Amino acid sequence: MLSILLATALPELPPVEQPKPVQSRQQAILEKIMQEAPAAASERSFGECTYMWDQWKLNSEGVRTTLRTCKGESAQTPVSVAVSCPLLKVNTTSSTEPGKWQGWRSPIAKGSKPGEAMMVASLCANVVE
């Protein structure tokens, strides 16, 4: 009985409108955008460094980590980078001693890579604390 009442009480849905065909110039632009999308989604560059943006991992202490490659460094051995958004601090592994963390520092401290502060700002601006 309840199902009959519900069925009769709901208004009828309007038909779904079919999308209009895309013009050929629009289609060409859309295809160009879609070709660039995978790289844009997976990597972001700040200064001399490219970060694996879609690979950020969050640990139990609230630290986010990913990999980066910078101009002048081997692409075969990417550097790990960690960011603490609550503290606005950065830590990286050594490019000469893979796996060895160098210590927490400000993204504008001596020895920071150009663009590192913008990377921290971009990452941490999207973090809900």
Among candidates 82, 78, 76, 84, which has minimal Cα distance to 49?
78
CA distance readout (Å), 14 to 30, 67, 72, 74: 29, 49, 60, 58
pLDDT at 97 over 80: yes
Please spell the DSSP secondary structure of 16-69, one letter per residue. PPPPPPPPHHHHHHHHHHHHHHHHHHHEEEETTEEEEGGG-EE-TTSEEEEEEE
Tell me the one-letter amino acid at 110: K
pTM over 0.75: no
Which distant-in-sequence residues (6+ apart) come within 8 Å of 111 by Cβ? 105
Q: Which range (29-33, 83-87, 121-125) has the least confidence? A: 29-33
pLDDT category of residue 93 using cuts at 50, 70 and 90: very high
pLDDT in tens, 43-54: 999 999 999 999
Residue 114 structure tokens: 């150009």
Q: 84: which DSSP letter?
A: E
CA distance readout (Å), 93 to 54, 82, 102, 111: 19, 9, 6, 13
User: What pLDDT, on a 0 to 100 scale, did the predictor assign at position 72?
Assistant: 87
Q: What percent of the chain has pLDDT over 70?
A: 78
User: What pLDDT, on a 0 to 100 scale, did the predictor assign at position 42?
Assistant: 87
Is the Cβ–Cβ distance between 52 and 42 less than 8 Å? yes
| Cα angle value 55/56/59 (rounded, 5°) | 130
